[in-house]
């Protein structure tokens, strides 16, 4: 079977465990929280993360393929043999509806081709002038601060930890180094132990809470996409992201296609999407029931991995009951 490759780019942290019947349950959660330096107020710390990033650093950020080619280019997709009823059978569909930005109550603001600024780029600092990047999307939540992205965009399995204290920042609607809606630093991250412990791509999902900036929530700034769980398979998908193979990752790109099953690995419960996006698009949303006039729909997966030697084939995990539980743990 061909080797699989993680798509996206690639301190101290406080970890908590949630939702776990047992410590080995891959559907349990683990979280990490940003640590405020003792010599700074919270507002000063947030501003320091924003000020850390420059246009030059944004453009230096690379995907894991570029940062660690010897580790990523031949990496294999890790998974366990799935005998878990939660993954072998879909549950009942459930949705959370999209939310408009305060400045765009009718959701008619320019979206840039089809994509809205709910999608953006995330960046983090790996030290020694190395920077990582991914894609992510704001999803509607009661706390108004929630992103969804790929697990490997929040947890660096090669270094063994969350990236929550690595100057991790979200830039909604990023384009050519500009921040048209500002920047939002992270305050906490949550992912599945199935990802953090074993890199099981069925669990390559993370939810990230962003800090308010000058009292402003990211959802108020750009709105929030809906999110759907246990949606139908084989449906029309609009996938968004910032792949480095297209315009250097400086402009949001999208793919429009019907998803299908992954043909080579019966243990993988996600879907395959005909799509030419590669590294840098990881964590970008897959949207179903997508309205091209308003630019909103329901996130039902994220860009996760491609297979070496297989062109135009993006893969994304299924958002089922486990992902709904993960979302519920972060939404308030």
Q: Kindly report the CATH number assigned to the domain that includes residue 54.
A: 2.40.10.120
As a whole number of angstroms, the distance between CA 99 and CA 296 comes to: 9
User: Comparing C-alpha atoms, which of 258, 138, 265 is closest to residue 208?
Assistant: 138
Give the number of domains in the chain. Answer: 1
In a domain, 91, yes or no: no
Arithmetic mean of pLDDT, 50-67: 88
Burial class (CB in 10 A: 0-12, 13-18, 19+), 45: middle
Exposure b/e, 64-101, CB count within 10 A at least 16 = b: bbbbbeeebeebebebeebebebbeebeeeebbebbbb
User: Comparing C-alpha atoms, which of 307, 260, 255 is closest to residue 286?
Assistant: 255
Arithmetic mean of pLDDT, 217-230: 96
CB 58 within 8 Å of CB 188 = no
CB 240 within 8 Å of CB 173 = no
In a domain, 90, yes or no: no
CB 64 within 8 Å of CB 9 = yes
Within 10 angstroms of residue 255's Cβ, the number of other Cβ atoms is 21
CB 23 within 8 Å of CB 4 = no
Give residues with Cβ within 8 angstroms of 226, minimum separation 6: 95, 96, 97, 98, 139, 140, 289, 296, 297, 298, 299
Output the CA torsion sign for 183, 185, 188, 190. positive
pLDDT at 44: 94
Give per-residue pLDDT as tens, 232-246.
999 999 999 999 999
The chain-wide mean pLDDT, for the chain, equals: 84
In a domain, 87, yes or no: no
Q: SS3 for 126?
A: strand
Res. 114 pLDDT band, cuts 50 70 90? low
Res. 79 pLDDT band, cuts 50 70 90? very low
Copy the structure tokens of residue 257: 């296609």
Give per-residue pLDDT as tens, 249-269.
999 999 999 999 876 656 888
In terms of residues, how long is the chain?
A: 332
Range of the domain at 227: 4-82+96-103+113-328
In a domain, 166, yes or no: yes
User: Comparing C-alpha atoms, which of 317, 324, 193, 187 is closest to residue 261?
Assistant: 317
In a domain, 17, yes or no: yes
As a whole number of angstroms, the distance between CA 90 and CA 190 comes to: 23
Arithmetic mean of pLDDT, 156-183: 91
φ/ψ (deg, to 5) at 327:
-60, -45
Give per-residue pLDDT as tens, 176-190.
999 999 999 999 999
Instruction: Name residue 224's beta-bridge partners.
Output: 99
In a domain, 77, yes or no: yes
In a domain, 52, yes or no: yes
HSE-up of residue 36 (Cα within 13 Å, Cβ side): 12
- Token look-up 């910032």 returns 242
Res. 6 pLDDT band, cuts 50 70 90? low
DSSP conformational letter for 237: E
pLDDT at 156: 87
pLDDT at 283: 96
In a domain, 74, yes or no: yes
- Of all residues in the chain, what percent carry a pLDDT higher than 90? 61
């Amino acid at each position: 079977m061909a080797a699989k490759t993680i798509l996206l780019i690639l301190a101290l942290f406080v970890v908590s465990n949630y939702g776990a019947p047992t410590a080995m349950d891959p559907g349990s959660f683990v979280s990490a929280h940003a640590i405020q330096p003792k010599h700074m107020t919270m507002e000063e710390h947030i501003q320091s993360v924003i000020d850390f990033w420059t246009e030059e650093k944004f453009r230096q950020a690379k995907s894991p393929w570029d940062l660690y080619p010897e580790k990523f280019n031949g990496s294999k997709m890790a998974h366990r043999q799935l005998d878990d009823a939660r993954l072998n059978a879909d549950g009942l569909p459930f949705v959370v509806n999209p939310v408009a930005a305060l400045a765009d109550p009718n959701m008619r603001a320019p979206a840039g081709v089809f994509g809205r600024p709910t999608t953006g780029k995330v960046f983090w600092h790996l030290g020694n002038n190395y920077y990582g990047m991914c894609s992510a999307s704001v999803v509607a939540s009661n706390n108004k601060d929630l992103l969804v992205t790929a697990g490997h965009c929040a947890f660096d399995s090669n270094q063994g930890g969350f990236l929550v204290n690595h100057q991790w920042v979200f830039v909604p609607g990023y384009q050519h180094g500009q921040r048209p809606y500002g920047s939002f630093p992270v305050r906490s991250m949550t992912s599945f132990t199935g990802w953090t412990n074993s890199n099981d791509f069925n669990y390559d999902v993370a939810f990230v809470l962003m800090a308010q900036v000058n009292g402003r929530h990211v959802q108020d700034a750009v709105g929030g996409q809906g999110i759907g769980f246990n949606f139908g398979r084989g449906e029309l998908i609009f996938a968004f992201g910032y792949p480095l193979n297209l315009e250097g990752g400086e402009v949001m790109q999208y793919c429009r296609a019907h998803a299908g099953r992954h043909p080579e690995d019966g243990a993988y419960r996600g879907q395959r999407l005909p799509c030419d996006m590669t590294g840098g698009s990881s964590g970008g949303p897959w949207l179903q029931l997508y309205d091209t006039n308003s630019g909103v729909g329901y996130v039902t997966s994220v860009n996760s991995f491609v297979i070496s030697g297989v062109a135009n084939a993006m893969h994304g995990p299924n958002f089922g009951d486990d992902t709904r539980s993960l979302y519920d743990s972060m939404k308030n």
